[in-house]
């Protein structure tokens, strides 16, 4: 009896020597994936529909007049689930990003590229929007190949022009969506309704992103995942033998052999029909093993299951599984490595939670003015001069008041500083703090101040107050 191979590379050992998106002559290998059909594709289609609905609805959702989500990278203002993160909260933003990255690493180690196949906007838009339009206008794989080879007749011009026009329109919609996430729908509405001359830069951004999206979905396509995306390139270090990926069960499938009628089959279950390759949007043969180019789109699972049903074999020759499950029949979702990631993530979330709970609406830096001394006043009080900066860490206007909590004393601003704080704005000025000598025991005394908005205390902080020695 022939021994089953222990690696899937018995037949195609050279596949790692070349990049299949580039032909031998250096030209691009344009892929025409066959229209995917099957249970997994239907699940993904419903999931994508839900995801796109949420994606297009989110910019319109508001809490207390503020967007639920905002990612204004230029002004470094972010709103995540209604929580405003301004330029002063760089630590909060940094930690959120860091914990997000650790989460991605953990998630990928356990579930492979589930994100790429199901939720990545590139895959969702490419496979569930643009590709479907292409199938609707140009037909399935054979018709697309024939159309591209055909001379430029009026029918071809009509098909190509209508496809490119629809692509351009959806790219324009997507660019508007992206801008809405960046500046909010209210600002976007202004670009649409007000004279163009008042919003030249933002309108330029819409046009620029429209062209980028069009280029990406009409031409770049699979290469955005296989050449541009850094996440795909990290798979080699993130995945291990327990990671759940879309995989071909070579123990069951090999040796592959065409099926013949009335023949006692001694070969494996793979009938070498190449349907799994024909449907692959990145043009790979999953039977060669896990590859960087696989975006876990499940198209090959459906294609193979359909074939298995037709020839009367068990489905699941290509399925979500792990290398260990294929070889040993068992697999562990949680290993020492994943427990390590969980520990780091828990720690990061704990710190993040603490910082969020203790976060205040304002942040005040109040320091004794450089080069100044205390002033002894004839009425038995001592004054210190301070410079202050108040940062508004919310996305609303605040009119704060500064109060001395302890010891008793008075505040007198130098000049008339404007304490009106715009959203994420800052105010600065100088203030004299005057305290009776009887309240001051040491040369260096600690005093406590608070920032109020009406009767609501926004923040409490301490600073030093210098008094004459021995008083
Ligand atoms: S679709 Fe299934 S049976 Fe056909 S070549 Fe691929 S793995 Fe083999
Ligand atoms: S190998 Fe399968 S899951 Fe991976 S990209 Fe190709 S069709 Fe999708």
**Of 302, 278, 303, 282, which Cα lies nearest the Cα of 291?**
282
Compute the distance from residue 309 Cα to the ligand 2 centre, in Å.
20
Give the model's pLDDT for residue 16: 66
C-alpha of residue 271 to centroid of ligand 1, in Å: 6
412 and 430 Cβ atoms separated by less than 8 Å:
no
Count of helix runs (H) and strand runs (E) in the chain: 17, 15
Dist. CA 138–CA 143, nearest whole Å: 7
For ligand 1, atom 3, the nearest C-alpha belongs to 270
- CA 224 to centroid of chain Cα atoms: 15
**Residue 126: which of 245, 297, 283, 275 has the closest Cα?**
297
CA of 260 to the centre of ligand 1 (A): 15
Distance, CA of 120 to CA of 107 (rounded, Å): 14
Query: Burial level of 339, CB count in 10 A (0-12/13-18/19+)?
Result: exposed
Ligand number, closest to the Cα atom of 126: 2
Ligand nearest to the CA of 275: 1
Ligand 2 atom index nearest CA of 279: 7
Q: Per residue in 10-24, pLDDT tens? A: 445 566 667 778 888
Structure tokens that stand for 2 in this block: 């022939």
What pLDDT score was predicted for residue 93?
Answer: 84
pLDDT digits (tens, 9 = 90+) for 339-381: 999 999 999 999 999 998 999 999 999 999 998 999 999 999 9
Please tell me the CATH superfamily of domain 362-466, with its number. Answer: Immunoglobulins (2.60.40.10)
Q: What is the pLDDT of residue 80?
A: 87
CB 361 within 8 A of CB 394: yes
Ligand 2 neighbour 246 (Cβ under 6 A): yes
Q: How many CB atoms lie within 10 A of CB 354?
A: 10
Q: Tens digit of pLDDT for each residue in 150-206? A: 999 999 999 999 999 999 999 999 999 999 999 999 989 988 898 888 889 999 999
**Banded pLDDT at 410 (limits 50, 70, 90):** very high
Q: How far is the CA of 361 from the centre of ligand 2 (A)?
A: 48
Q: Report CA(442)–ligand 2 centroid distance (Å).
A: 74
206 lines ligand 2 (CB under 6 A): no
Contact 256, 268 (CB under 8 A): yes
Q: Is the predicted pLDDT of residue 85 greater than 90, yes or no?
A: no
Ligand nearest to the CA of residue 319, numbered in listed order: 2
Q: How far is the CA of 279 from the centre of ligand 2 (A)?
A: 8
Using one digit for the tens of pLDDT, what is the confidence trace for 295-339?
A: 999 999 999 999 999 999 999 999 999 999 999 888 787 888 899
Question: For residue 299, which atom of ligand 2 is closest to its CA?
Answer: 7
Task: Indicate the domain borders of the chain.
Answer: 1-60+112-328, 362-466
Q: What is the mean pLDDT of residues 51-76?
A: 91
């Amino acid at each position: 009896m022939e021994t089953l191979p222990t690696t899937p590379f018995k037949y195609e050992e050279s596949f790692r020597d070349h990049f299949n998106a580039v032909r031998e002559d250096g030209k691009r290998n344009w892929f025409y994936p066959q229209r995917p059909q099957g249970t997994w594709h239907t699940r993904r289609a419903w999931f994508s529909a839900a995801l796109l609905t949420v994606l297009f609805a989110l910019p319109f959702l508001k809490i207390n007049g503020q967007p639920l989500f905002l990612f204004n990278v230029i002004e470094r203002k972010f709103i995540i689930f209604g929580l405003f993160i301004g330029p002063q909260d760089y630590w909060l933003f940094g930690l959120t990003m860091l914990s997000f990255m650790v989460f991605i690493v953990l998630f990928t180690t356990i579930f492979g590229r589930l994100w790429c196949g199901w939720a990545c906007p590139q895959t969702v838009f490419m496979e569930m929007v643009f590709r479907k339009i292409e199938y609707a206008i140009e037909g399935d794989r054979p018709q697309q190949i024939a159309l591209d080879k055909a001379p430029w007749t009026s029918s071809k011009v009509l098909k190509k022009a209508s496809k490119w026009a629809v692509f351009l329109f959806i790219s324009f919609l997507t660019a508007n969506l992206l801008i809405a996430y960046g500046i909010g729908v209210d600002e976007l509405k202004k670009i649409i309704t007000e004279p163009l001359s008042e919003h030249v830069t933002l309108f330029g951004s819409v046009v620029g992103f429209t062209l980028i999206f069009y280029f990406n979905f009409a031409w770049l396509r699979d290469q955005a995942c296989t050449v541009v995306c850094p996440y795909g390139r990290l798979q080699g270090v993130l995945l291990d033998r327990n990671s759940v990926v879309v995989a071909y069960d070579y123990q069951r499938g090999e040796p592959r052999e065409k099926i013949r009628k009335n023949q006692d089959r001694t070969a494996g279950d793979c009938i070498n029909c190449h349907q799994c390759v024909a449907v692959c949007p990145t043009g790979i043969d999953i039977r060669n093993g896990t590859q960087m180019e696989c975006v876990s789109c499940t198209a090959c699972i459906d294609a193979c299951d359909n074939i298995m049903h037709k020839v009367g074999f068990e489905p699941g020759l290509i399925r979500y599984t792990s290398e260990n499950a294929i070889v040993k029949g068992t697999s562990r979702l949680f290993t020492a490595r994943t427990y390590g990631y969980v520990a780091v993530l828990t720690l990061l979330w704990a710190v993040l939670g603490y910082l969020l709970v203790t976060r205040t609406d304002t942040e005040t830096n109040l320091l004794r003015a450089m080069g100044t001394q205390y002033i002894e006043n004839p009425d038995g009080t001592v004054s210190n001069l301070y410079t202050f900066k108040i940062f508004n860490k919310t996305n609303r206007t605040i009119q704060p008041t500064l109060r001395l909590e302890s010891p008793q004393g008075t505040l007198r601003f130098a000049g008339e500083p404007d304490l009106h704080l715009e959203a994420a704005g800052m105010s600065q000025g100088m203030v004299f703090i005057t305290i009776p000598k009887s309240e001051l025991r040491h040369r260096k005394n600690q005093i406590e101040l608070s920032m109020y908005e009406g009767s609501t205390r926004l923040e409490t902080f301490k600073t030093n107050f210098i008094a004459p020695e021995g008083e």
